[in-house]
Structure 1
Amino acid sequence: MATKKNKVKFNISNVHYALVIENADGTITWGIPVALPGAVSISLDPQGEPESFYADGIEYYVINNNQGYDGDLEVAMIPEEFRTGVLMEITDSNNVLVENASSETGKFALLFEFDGDVKKIRHVMYNCSASRPSIAAKTNEDGREVQTETLTVKARPLATGFVKAKTGDSTKASVYNNWYKSVYQPNTPEPEEPTEEPTS
């Protein structure tokens, strides 16, 4: 029986983030994904254009230049856990959130999904950072309008080169169902052993 395939996508939901853990040996792992509720929109544009190398009077070689993605994640309101865990605001003894200019923001994986006409498409961006959101609001007029908050997100390649991953039409059910339990790590196939030619 043929696998049904999505024809369209719409809506963003189920946004999660997982803190990047840099181990002593230089390897990267991630914490358990945490829900980031209230997603309104996401827009991430690719960074890095292919560069051409010219020789012999022609375009001799095209150099790949994948620098990840930049863009915005708009949410209803940024949770305190994200502010303290990623934006590195601190909570004082009075439980007041304090922003310190000397604090370095944390890195995280960003997980989310789009609805499809057949099945939700799940994504992970492996190595993200976020800038501080703007402070903005306006007075109520005839009605009340919700004031959202926007994070500017930069998703950069890992040392391995991996930038992102997403589920496909035939992704294994076990991988799909566990997407938000831990950050998916690509299963790269082992290189094939060279076959020996028979001797005569």
Structure 2
Amino acid sequence: MAKNKVKYNLKNAHYAMLKVDEEGVVSFDKPVALPGAVSISLDANGEPENFYADGTAYYVINNNMGYDGDLELAMIPEDFRVSALNETLDDNKVLIEDANSELNRFALLFEFDGDVKHIRHVLYNCSASRPGIEGKTNEESREVQTETLTIKATPLASGVVKAKTGNETDSTVYADWYKAVYMPTITGVNTDAE
């Protein structure tokens, strides 16, 4: 089977609102397109820590706290502002930002082109900070002004942080990636607890 050697070209960004019921069972709404993805840059959050005993690094503690970084979009869609950033539309359909609103959690899905096959990703437990306001006047030429969301992707209570397609991912799973948020099916991994 041919394998990707390189990746390039971020595209197909989607989000799906995360829900946790009273028993702690995690579910997601159907993914919604997040058009205009320009770039994504997420750094791993959390470094392994050594526990020292007997004069050596006796045990290494995994400290995977997810990812932090930025998602740059041509323009943040109104539906994302309402669903994830918890802005409200008033009676005149004007977006209102309220200092007392809580941010809502969501899964972030996206993909990169590969030289053989697209590489699809999902980060399960994301929140986005309010974007800044930035722009400038036109000069001799017009320049598109993008908007940036700062994303924090943390583990679910089960420990699951993210998933991505591999060289031999099941063709149905691959084809259905944006129809519903993929949940792992590994014996011994409980993804329902939040």
Q: TM-score interval w.r.t. the shorter chain?
A: over 0.9
Does 2:32 match 1:9?
Answer: no
CA distance in 1, matches of 2:188, 2:164: 21
Question: What letter corresponds to residue 88 of structure 2 in structure 1?
Answer: I
Residue pairs, 1:145-164, within 5 angstroms: 145-164=143-162
CA distance in 2, matches of 1:94, 1:22: 32
What SS does the aligned partner of 1:81 have?
helix
Query: Partner of 1:73 in structure 2?
Result: 71
Q: Which of the pair has more CA radius of gyration?
A: 1
CA distance in 2, matches of 1:131, 1:106: 10
CA distance in 1, matches of 2:55, 2:119: 44
- Of the candidates 180, 183, 189, which is equivalent to residue 182 of structure 1? 180
Query: Partner of 2:23 in structure 1?
Result: 25
Between 18-27 and 162-171, the greater mean CA deviation after superposition = 18-27
Root mean square deviation, CA, Å:
0.9
Q: Which runs of no fewer than 5 residues in structure 2 stay unpaired?
A: 190-194
CA distance in 2, matches of 1:48, 1:11: 27
CA distance in 2, matches of 1:135, 1:71: 18
Query: Partner of 1:197 in structure 2?
Result: none
Query: Partner of 2:95 in structure 1?
Result: 97
What SS does the aligned partner of 2:79 have?
helix
Query: Partner of 1:198 in structure 2?
Result: none
- Of the candidates 47, 59, 62, which is equivalent to residue 64 of structure 1? 62
Instruction: Give the superposition deviation at 1:24.
Output: 1.5
What SS does the aligned partner of 1:175 have?
helix
The superposition leaves residues 13-36 of structure 1 with CA deviations (integer Å, 9 ceiling, x where unpaired) of 000000001112111110000000
Query: Partner of 1:112 in structure 2?
Result: 110
Instruction: Give the superposition deviation at 1:120.
Output: 0.2
What SS does the aligned partner of 2:4 have?
coil
CA distance in 2, matches of 1:14, 1:58: 47
Runs of 4+ deviating beyond 2 Å:
none
CA distance in 2, matches of 1:31, 1:164: 17
Query: Partner of 2:44 in structure 1?
Result: 46
CA distance in 2, matches of 1:129, 1:25: 22
CA distance in 1, matches of 2:188, 2:53: 35
CA distance in 1, matches of 2:29, 2:156: 16
Percent sequence identity is: 65
Query: Partner of 2:192 in structure 1?
Result: none
CA distance in 2, matches of 1:187, 1:28: 14
Query: Partner of 1:34 in structure 2?
Result: 32
The superposition leaves residues 172-193 of structure 1 with CA deviations (integer Å, 9 ceiling, x where unpaired) of 10000000000000001269xx
Q: Which runs of no fewer than 5 residues in structure 1 stay unpaired?
A: 192-200
Aligned residues: 189
Between 19-28 and 43-52, the greater mean CA deviation after superposition = 19-28
CA distance in 1, matches of 2:93, 2:79: 13
Normalising by structure 1, we get a TM-score of: 0.93
What SS does the aligned partner of 2:13 have?
strand
